[in-house]
Amino acid sequence: MGFKKTIDRWQNSRTKCLWQMTLSQRRNPYAVLKMQEIMEQELALSNKELLRVRQAALHQLFEKEYQQYQQELRQMGKAFYVERM
């Protein structure tokens, strides 16, 4: 759910930036350069955030599968060896 919201927000801000960029091109070329720079920074940040969200989702998936595997082994009367310190 969080992944979809992040994607939607990114698409909305991209659409707004493109719309503003077309308006600004007629007014001030320096504003266009500034807008492009801001857009590149936001895109880089959103890519980093998207990577974090995907990594967290993958971590949760691995943890869930690990728990399920442990439960299946317990049902068969087996278990993982865990060294405690």
pLDDT at residue 24, as a whole number: 53
Report domain extents, the chain.
Answer: 1-6+40-78
pLDDT (tens digit per residue) in 62-80: 999 999 998 998 888 887 7
CA distance 42 to 9: 11
pLDDT tens digit sequence for 26-39: 667 777 778 789 88
Check whether 22 has a pLDDT greater than 70: no
> Quick one: pLDDT at residue 59?
96
Task: Kindly report, residue by residue over 35-54, the tens digit of the pLDDT.
Answer: 789 889 988 988 898 899 99
* Cα–Cα–Cα angle for 14, 17, 18, rounded to 5 degrees: 85
